[in-house]
Chain A
Amino acid sequence: DTAVSQTPKYLVTQMGNDKSIKCEQNLGHDTMYWYKQDSKKFLKIMFSYNNKELIINETVPNRFSPKSPDKAHLNLHINSLELGDSAVYFCASSPGTSGQETQYFGPGTRLLVL
């Protein structure tokens, strides 16, 4: 039983294309996150949703648009892909928003923009 799943696992695409990454959690958690991990392994939060509402929106280009159709799903759409978008994108979830809760990470989506 996969707790947090992401599709696709790998994504290779050309500059300028638009792509989406999907995330689903079956843990019954209320809060979901998108992180970006760059080539130097630095993990940085991008967005967070609680019960389908955006609660964290870091300084991310507006080419990135998250969407949460329900609290078990959080998708990430990226327009006009750039070389610098190449990274591993992790989805995560946590039970709530107290800040003391463990975040559970998905397997990651490895995006390569050529």
Chain B
Amino acid sequence: QKEVEQNSGPLSVPEGAIASLNCTYSDRGSQSFFWYRQYSGKSPELIMFIYSNGDKEDGRFTAQLNKASQYVSLLIRDSQPSDSATYLCAVNRGSNYKLTFGKGTLLTVNP
């Protein structure tokens, strides 16, 4: 079983819709969860992080964490063409500073 799994996509949504990106992880000891966005040819940049079960909102982005189900998601409301990128889920065990990344989901927002 892969440590961090994401649907590779592509996920295609129309402009203004909600994009839902999902990630599952295998290590129950994982404590910190990150979503990075990577535009083609660019480096990853942090969108959000979440440590506790539940929802965390930041502008148009909401991260959701369910540790019992070992599941973390990212919702993007009012999707814009500029949101088109690969979204990388990353997981950390807490005391271990190693981030384990999923393979990323390619999101395309169509105008």
Contact = CB atoms under 8 A, between A and B. Distances in A.
Residues of A in contact with B, size category: 20 to 34
B7 to A, nearest CB: 14
Contacts, number: 59
A105 B43 contact: yes
Interface residues of B, number: 25
B29 to A, nearest CB: 11
A45 B42 CA distance: 17
B43 A48 contact: no
Interface string B73-92: 00000000000001010001
A51 B44 CA distance: 23
Interface of A: 31, 40-45, 48, 50, 55-56, 90, 94, 97-108
